[in-house]
Structure 1
Amino acid sequence: MELSRKNKTILIAGITPYFLEKGNLWFEENKIKIVNARKSQSFFQDNLLPIHTDEKISQSAFLRSLDELGYEKVLHIEEPGEFSVVGGTVEVFPINTDNAFQIEFIGNRIEEILSLALSIEDEEATKKLLKKKLKSQKLFSDLKNLKDGDYLVHLDHGIGKFTGFTTQQYKKDEITYYTLEYASKDKLYVPKGLERKLSRYVGFRDPHIARLGSPFWQKTKRRIKEEVEKLAKELLELYAKKEMVSRLPYIPEDELDQKIAASFPYEETPDQIQTLLDINKDLSSNAPMDRIVAGDVGFGKTEIALRTMARAVKSGYQAILLAPTTILAHQHYSNFKERLNDLPINIALFSRLQTKKEQAKIIKDLKEGRIDIVVGTHRLLSKDVEFNNLGLLVIDDEQKFGVKQKEKLRELRSSLDVLSLSATPIPRTLYMALSSLKGVSTIQTPPEGRIAVKTIIGIWNENKIKEAIEKELDRKGQIYFLHNRIGTIEQIKEHLEKLVPKAKIQIAHGRMNEVKLIEVLDAFRNKEFDILLSTTIIENGMDIQNVNTIIVDDAAKLGLAQAYQLKGRVGRSHKKAYAHFFHKKRMTPKARLRLKALKEAEELGSGYRLALRDLEIRGAGNILGKEQSGSINTIGLNLFCQMLSQAVERLK
């Protein structure tokens, strides 16, 4: 970096809202007053650092002061509020000067201070960004209810383990510090008041912990910052494309919408009402909608989709609902068909269940505009499928689609209204990072009269299984029995028939012919038998109100998100529902933790709690794409979202 004139004295201001309101000229004009104010006023003492050549100060004391002023340590400085260190050379870019400086130390003395050619182009824009950065650091830190052993991420030093608070004497004051432990028992003390430099680590696995002072963290942070900027660019490009597209506002709600709403057998929850208002606002503008609706399993996202699709049809558009599996597509189609029965809306199902001849007819009708709503799998994304006037795309569980399908969806996205339904919760931090680019609605309130599913976890016990099945049969209910091995599922059926002779049992698994599979599921929905013995294919798309007991025979093998989804298959009415998770005597510590978290997440809407942290990461991965999961794990979700938020602001 180019060096220019030498400086005798410089003033470094702390990153505080007060100083960010002041222009650089103010610091120049009031330099003497500011330095004098330091002598008597504690705010100026704590938040200003004047230094000069020949000053006796150790490099480590100077670096500690920069840290306490809120400056971020980086590999190479690029913007105000950053500093870097190589040997006895410190480079710093104060927030109150137009350019950066290089400070040379020899022993415990400042040898010289040089101006660097690195300077700001637009002071106002820079200050605005710094204010947003300061705000986002506070927002993203998430330090409530810290426990010993929790991992924290320090902006300058990386990930350490929180080992509690400690109090130390500093000059005349007693100061409380967060204590972080790094590799080789290195300790870092962070004073209370500097929380914005800390964020809670949320990731899928235990993070890598390096020694304090190793270059590992700065290199990692720089690499991820570059990746995040690339992601922010992509998001902004998509956003810009959407901004350029214009369409007529949708027709306001009328009799047709009221008729559909009246046929909904439940009272809308406050969150559903708010989501419908959000969507109404999107559809009333000229810009295409891009909204995510995140909500726990069975909290009424499908109802939102149905009403939005009806609005699209009424406004002269065709609408498609894309589901990741044939079962889910069939389920949505059956529900929609029933609800729209008396209305002049033509609805079709398009998946591998239809014969070639039936598929050809649907393709022809879609092109000629005879079909208003089509529900289907990724088969709808094939080249031979064309529409007459497609306006709305609803995507259910987008993360379940493959890379090629997602590419196709990305192409469609820029010109259509898009509603994306997600059953995995969206972390608050990600919600904030994306809020300026996407609409995000969350449905966290359970439907009226819904009772939390009772979760029972225990060692495999035949008597308890028999008791659970008979209890459900006595109240005329049905049961899911989950056995996730196709090879031994027939033996389990024989065993259950001996255990509970009066129960009628049928099998469902992914290797069955799809037409036969749907027949079995429809028969179960029509109460033709009592127990559906199946693999995890029931994880998505089974919504049967009469099924209020689920029994899992080897729960230790399930991932937490999967177990949580399975639990959500029951308890979809006002009846008390039961989820029995059985396991073998011996379990891995991780499996034990997963089941403990599942038990902790018993209350309704608990998908939004940190007990299900892997759901949060999954939720982030779903929205940002699987390729971001590695970066999220490396630096933690909160810091990742903070970086994303800052990159979006900078590029805007």
Structure 2
Amino acid sequence: MNILTDSIRKDKEYGELLSAVVKGKTAPRALPILISGLCEGASDAVYASLVEDIKKTDKRAILFICSEEKECVRVKSLLKQFGFKCAFYVGRDLTFYNITASHEYEHERLKVLSGLLDGSLDAVVTTPDAALSYTIPPEKLISSNMKIEYDKTVIDPAELAKKLIDAGYVCVEMVEAPGQFARRGGIIDIYPTFATFKDIDGQESRGAYPFRIELFGDEIDRMEIFDSATQRMTVTLDAVEFYPARELLIDSEKRAELKKAIESWRAKSKDSRAIEEMTSEIAVLDTDGDINFADKYITLVYPERMSLLDYFGEKTTVIIKGTTAVYDRIKAAQWHQSQTVEELLSAGTIAPKYTDYSKPEAMLDVFLDKSVTLHFDSLGQGMSGKKLGAMFTFRTKHMVSYCENLELLCDDLGGYVRGGYKVILVAENEAAAKNLSALLSEKGFSAIIESDKEDYAKGEIPKSAVLIWWKNYIKGYELTTPKIAILSTSPESREGGLSGAAQIKRKKKKRSGTEAILSYNDLEVGDFVVHEIHGIGQYMGIENLTVDGVSRDYITIRYAGSDRLFLPVDKLDMVSKYIGAHSDDGLVKLSRFGGNEWGRAKAKAKAAAKDIAKDLIKLYAERSRRPGFAFPADDDLQADFEAAFEYDETEGQLAAAEDIKEDMMKPVPMDRILCGDVGFGKTEVAMRAAYKAILGGKQVAILVPTTLLALQHYQTITSRMRAFSVNVDMISRFRTPKQQAQSLRRLKRGDTDVIVGTHRLISKDIEFKDLGLLIIDEEQRFGVAQKEKLKQIAENVDVLTLTATPIPRTLNMAMGGIRDISVLDEAPVDRLPVQTYVLEYDELILIEAIRRELRRGGQVFYLYNFVETINDCAAKLSKAIPEARITVAHGKMDKEQLEDIWGEMLAGEIDILVCTTIIETGVDIPNANTLIVENSQRLGLSQLHQIRGRVGRSARRAYAYFTYPRNKAVNEIATKRLEAIRDYAEFGAGFKIAIRDMEIRGAGNLLGSEQHGHLDAVGYELYIKLLNEAILEEKGEKVKEKPECTVTLRCDAFIPDKYVPYSAQRMGLYKRIAMIETNEDKDDIVDELIDRFGDVPKQTMSLLGVALVRAAAKKCGITSIIEEQSEIKVLLSVFDFEVWSELSDIYRGRIRVIMSENPTVIIKKQKGEDVLKMLHELFCKYYEILQNYI
């Protein structure tokens, strides 16, 4: 039972409407039903009631058709609130050219189609053009479905791999995203786009999770879901059923057919561009590459010409919202499609018989004639001239939200109660419901929270009391006939709470921000590396060598000249990936093996690190010694503020907020970075910190790089904090000198709680009464001088830095543990990702992209980063699209002119803004949802990501086109940038991009340009190690240098190729094994190896043992361990007589010492003993005894 839907059921019209629907289900032909008179809140309640009531007798999904994607998202969110399994079927963006594109939307469509086939959906929401577009036929999807059962399925790995490839899955070394699979001998990892999982307890869940199959012969030995980040298994499975990863499935036969057709069309073409394009397509088909242009040939691939509608049977319940607008959208979409077809035909790149890509409008009418169709139209339009089965008119009235006027709420409540109305007051959440109940009780009303009494849980509304409901959000409305009033206290702008579908619960280990950073790193053949002793070389791969009958893996590092170093893999802790300066061709100067040059460079870097450590200690360590302000623990007011947030927080937001508040409660100044992708909720986390500071009696300053951002933040914060009596002010160029003077006085008196501003905030005339928290948005946008002033202001106050893509300098400090970092890496629910394309510049493609955006009433950012010729670019666009309103914006314009342009963009008075990177930070333009970047290879990776964040800020789908010059070579570094921006198209990519950016362009400098050369000379990781050691020394802590230790034991110690076939994966494992310190570290890796690759081979267990022995030996000052036939020689850097005397007593008769310039200990072996275990225990005992003498 639900109070809101039950209120609708009390309306007589609804009862008759439901009867008409039920009757239509059994009638030979159901005529359309028209529903009018419903305001938005009431129509939402009717939707939810209909889904609930119809599903009682008809288990099939209900189809909602809306005229706008934004409305689809809203309806989907609404129905999910009420507990229904609802999905949004996003329309196809047909790709007619050979350009790479992200596949998120394709996966979403397949998820919907599979949900319809397996009956797991209650409702599907879509637009009419999406419903009519061709897609994979149901029969093909069913035949491509794969089901794997633990005790029934027999698997041939090669056959399964072929089937996965035919189903559109891509074979990779390690699965990280949906649509991938990996094969390692008898272990197969699959990351389905959507699947039904059944665990060993028989519980079923649906979602997109990677799972691993371990085979014993051709039978399944184990099958489990695993975490793609850690590669560790989490849930044991009994069965998995999943569908293909692509809509267009093109096997070898279809590929040959397609190639033959294109060759035929190419032979007939006389257009040089068309011939070039088709030649390129044939080349792709010959190389078995991804067929990015396949949409153009969809009817050749699927001659059945089927769409979403073919997944619904007869007598489907169809709800059409806004009939006229729905049919207008069909006409517009199909007209624009016809224009594209004409261009393809005139270019000669396609044959006339393959030029339809969706069903005609008439086919929608045919489908609706066989369905029970409900037309919702508030004014009853759109059905004139059509014969109706029934028509229902509700009497409802929209009620505005009372969120900011509770006094008016009390006045209106009195009128409703006296008028005999039953009143339901909808609150945001349980905390808000309790607050409302207390407020109304003070005003003399009898207010009851629905969950307080069983009687009210049954849906009965008390006659003389106000019922407060908080379990679903809905806009307010009044039902006149049954006299029911639904009143809302939530903001009108809210589009409904979001709740995800049922998911498998997996345990997550909380990772620190630094661990999150390091988890994105890798090493591949050809990368430059740094060996702590031998210097900068190039990693050339892994080789297995047998020396004295013992097999081990060695990594090969190339140095200057023809020198090679073969390094045992157990010494990989001495090697790190080189992150520093590269030449224009991507090369790095290699060290000369055995020369003095590396030693000199390392010594200089160490001296420089000592200098910088002094500054770091002064800036950061001194902050920890200087008393700050310890804010009090959270109270009810803080809880109320957080409960008032209108959306569901992500786990990342909650964790970050707690980390920040914990820092604020410490008696030392906070210095924390909050890194989160665009739209991930950094502002809300920052506002919780700000409100905590205000409750502690302190002022808050929010510093932003531009005047427009200051205005945007001011409006956001004012709206969020208005109900909590917080005084927010702004100081920027938007304010007159008189207004600024007044603001300064209020700030000095302490009348202002929060001040938002640009660098004007760090001027000399700014005085705070008691500043407690400084929030800096996009720190990298401020200059060096401004940052120096910031350091002075922030000396005694808490500092929170917000960034979407942290600059390498900031990132360095976080990775080195110098600053704390919190990471928001969870995508918001139901947010549409930006469809990203990377392509050669093609005017036809770009003009069509612009026209498509303008056709849907949107705006376009066209980034052209050459001020001298930017007007020529605008003129070219104006000639191609004369109807568009085009304006130019660049950094050489004065601020007032730019402010005016942004204002015109916000007002929708500009269609295309041709601009430079000035848009990298700017106000949100929700209506601008297409971005085109010319010469994107010239921009930095973080810049590209930040610029992409300018679009996709509304419920409408957004597009980003990153172009590079046609027929012109792009250097290696620029190519890596474009590959990264394409690969990291998903939400949360900002953080990964920052890491990739640091690798591509070097780590930058930590405190000044004078340090840059030292960092480049030795590489980032070694420099940080030297810096950390210098910091410890500056703190007065003794840094004990561990001697290098060589371990030569008579056992094969390596990871066999057959066990881990990919060298990049073996390299990553070797690196981690070389860094183990304890038995717990070893056990963790063993568990992971078993999870990922199966039972651990003897050679790999030996390798782990060797690593453990080496770690223990280094702590004891041992430089070499050599195993011979009957004894083991141990060389020492320092000889401790007392320690070895005690050990001799413990190991009677087995230990003897040879005193010389290099003291040597001889350990006698015993027959049949585990040498690795014995050595580890001996060295651990040595270290334990040693501590007694320190």
TM-score by structure 2 length? 0.41
Number of the residue aligned with 2:572: 195
Number of the residue aligned with 1:184: 561
Matches of 2:807 and 2:957, distance apart in 1: 28
1:284 Cα deviation (Å)? 2.2
Number of the residue aligned with 1:287: 668
1:244 Cα deviation (Å)? 3.5
- State the one-letter code of the partner of 1:394: I
Q: Is the 8 A contact 1:202 1:613 kept in 2?
A: no
Select which of 172, 183, 191 maps to 2:549: 172
- State the one-letter code of the partner of 1:409: L
Match of 1:359, SS state, is helix
Matches of 2:880 and 2:1009, distance apart in 1: 44
Matches of 2:526 and 2:858, distance apart in 1: 45
Number of the residue aligned with 1:395: 776
Number of the residue aligned with 2:899: 518
The answer for unaligned runs of 5 or more in structure 2 is 1-514, 1036-1190
Number of the residue aligned with 1:589: 971
Given the alignment of the two structures, is residue 634 of structure 1 paired with residue 1011 of structure 2, yes or no? no
Q: Is the 8 A contact 1:143 1:200 kept in 2?
A: no
Number of the residue aligned with 1:440: 821
If asked which structure has higher relative contact order (CA below 8 Å, sep 6+), I would say 1
Q: Is the 8 A contact 1:477 1:548 kept in 2?
A: yes
Number of the residue aligned with 1:370: 751
The worse-fitting range, judged by mean Cα deviation, of 313-322 and 624-633 is 624-633
1:114-129 matched pairs, under 5 angstroms? none
The worse-fitting range, judged by mean Cα deviation, of 241-250 and 465-474 is 241-250
Structure 1 residues 594 and 552, CA gap change in structure 2 (3 angstroms): same
1:637 Cα deviation (Å)? 1.8
Match of 1:287, SS state, is coil
- State the one-letter code of the partner of 1:634: A
Structure 1 residues 268 and 309, CA gap change in structure 2 (3 angstroms): same
- State the one-letter code of the partner of 2:572: E
1:309 Cα deviation (Å)? 1.7
Q: Is the 8 A contact 1:141 1:196 kept in 2?
A: no
Number of the residue aligned with 1:106: none
1:414 Cα deviation (Å)? 2.4
Q: Could you report, residue by residue, the CA deviation over 1:485-526 in whole angstroms, capped at 9, with x for unpaired residues?
A: 334333433433343344333333223332332232133234
Q: Is the 8 A contact 1:266 1:447 kept in 2?
A: no
1:362-511 matched pairs, under 5 angstroms? 362-425=743-806, 430=812, 434-435=816-817, 437-511=818-892
Q: Is the 8 A contact 2:888 2:915 kept in 1?
A: yes
Which contiguous aligned blocks of 4+ residues in structure 1 show a shift greater than 6 angstroms? 138-144, 426-429
Matches of 2:815 and 2:851, distance apart in 1: 50
Matches of 1:259 and 1:198, distance apart in 2: 51
Q: Could you report, residue by residue, the CA deviation over 1:189-248 in whole angstroms, capped at 9, with x for unpaired residues?
A: 101111111111122423321211111111111111122222233222333432343355
1:143 Cα deviation (Å)? 11
Number of the residue aligned with 1:217: 598
- State the one-letter code of the partner of 1:605: G
Superposition CA RMSD, Å: 3.1
Number of the residue aligned with 1:608: 991
Q: Is the 8 A contact 2:813 2:1006 kept in 1?
A: no
1:283 Cα deviation (Å)? 1.8
TM-score by structure 1 length? 0.72
Matches of 2:650 and 2:984, distance apart in 1: 21
Q: Could you report, residue by residue, the CA deviation over 1:538-589 in whole angstroms, capped at 9, with x for unpaired residues?
A: 1013333332211112323222222221112222344432111123222432
The answer for unaligned runs of 5 or more in structure 1 is 1-137
Q: Could you report, residue by residue, the CA deviation over 1:387-437 in whole angstroms, capped at 9, with x for unpaired residues?
A: 1111111112223322222222222222111111233247899467543x4
Q: Could you report, residue by residue, the CA deviation over 1:611-633 in whole angstroms, capped at 9, with x for unpaired residues?
A: 95224687954865555443332
Matches of 2:768 and 2:938, distance apart in 1: 44
Number of the residue aligned with 1:539: 920
1:312 Cα deviation (Å)? 1.6
Select which of 563, 568, 571 maps to 2:944: 563
Given the alignment of the two structures, is residue 553 of structure 1 paired with residue 939 of structure 2, yes or no? no
Structure 1 residues 312 and 650, CA gap change in structure 2 (3 angstroms): same
Matches of 1:496 and 1:229, distance apart in 2: 56
Select which of 1034, 1040, 1046 maps to 1:651: 1034
Match of 2:570, SS state, is coil
Q: Is the 8 A contact 1:260 1:339 kept in 2?
A: no
Q: Is the 8 A contact 2:538 2:557 kept in 1?
A: yes
- Matched residues, number: 514
Matches of 2:920 and 2:690, distance apart in 1: 25
The worse-fitting range, judged by mean Cα deviation, of 221-230 and 513-522 is 513-522
Q: Is the 8 A contact 2:1005 2:1012 kept in 1?
A: no
Match of 2:802, SS state, is strand
Q: Is the 8 A contact 1:424 1:619 kept in 2?
A: no
Q: Could you report, residue by residue, the CA deviation over 1:434-456 in whole angstroms, capped at 9, with x for unpaired residues?
A: 43x43221122222223432221
Number of the residue aligned with 1:146: 523
1:536 Cα deviation (Å)? 0.9
The worse-fitting range, judged by mean Cα deviation, of 503-512 and 304-313 is 503-512
Structure 1 residues 597 and 328, CA gap change in structure 2 (3 angstroms): same
Number of the residue aligned with 1:347: 728
1:228-267 matched pairs, under 5 angstroms? 228-254=609-635, 257-258=638-639, 260-261=641-642, 264-267=645-648
Q: Is the 8 A contact 1:617 1:637 kept in 2?
A: no
Match of 2:561, SS state, is helix
Q: Could you report, residue by residue, the CA deviation over 1:7-58 in whole angstroms, capped at 9, with x for unpaired residues?
A: xxxxxxxxxxxxxxxxxxxxxxxxxxxxxxxxxxxxxxxxxxxxxxxxxxxx
Match of 2:716, SS state, is helix
Match of 2:530, SS state, is strand
How many percent identity over aligned positions?
Answer: 40
Structure 1 residues 143 and 421, CA gap change in structure 2 (3 angstroms): closer
The worse-fitting range, judged by mean Cα deviation, of 406-415 and 327-336 is 327-336
Q: Is the 8 A contact 2:864 2:914 kept in 1?
A: yes
The worse-fitting range, judged by mean Cα deviation, of 242-251 and 610-619 is 610-619
Number of the residue aligned with 1:96: none
Q: Is the 8 A contact 2:675 2:804 kept in 1?
A: yes
Q: Could you report, residue by residue, the CA deviation over 1:626-649 in whole angstroms, capped at 9, with x for unpaired residues?
A: 554433322222222222333333
Q: Is the 8 A contact 1:556 1:587 kept in 2?
A: no
Matches of 2:937 and 2:816, distance apart in 1: 35
Matches of 1:366 and 1:507, distance apart in 2: 38
Q: Is the 8 A contact 2:543 2:554 kept in 1?
A: yes
Matches of 1:595 and 1:249, distance apart in 2: 46
Q: Is the 8 A contact 2:529 2:575 kept in 1?
A: yes
Structure 1 residues 637 and 224, CA gap change in structure 2 (3 angstroms): same
- State the one-letter code of the partner of 2:970: T
Match of 1:340, SS state, is helix
Structure 1 residues 438 and 335, CA gap change in structure 2 (3 angstroms): same
- State the one-letter code of the partner of 1:636: G
Match of 1:630, SS state, is helix
1:184 Cα deviation (Å)? 0.8
Q: Could you report, residue by residue, the CA deviation over 1:74-115 in whole angstroms, capped at 9, with x for unpaired residues?
A: xxxxxxxxxxxxxxxxxxxxxxxxxxxxxxxxxxxxxxxxxx
Number of the residue aligned with 1:101: none
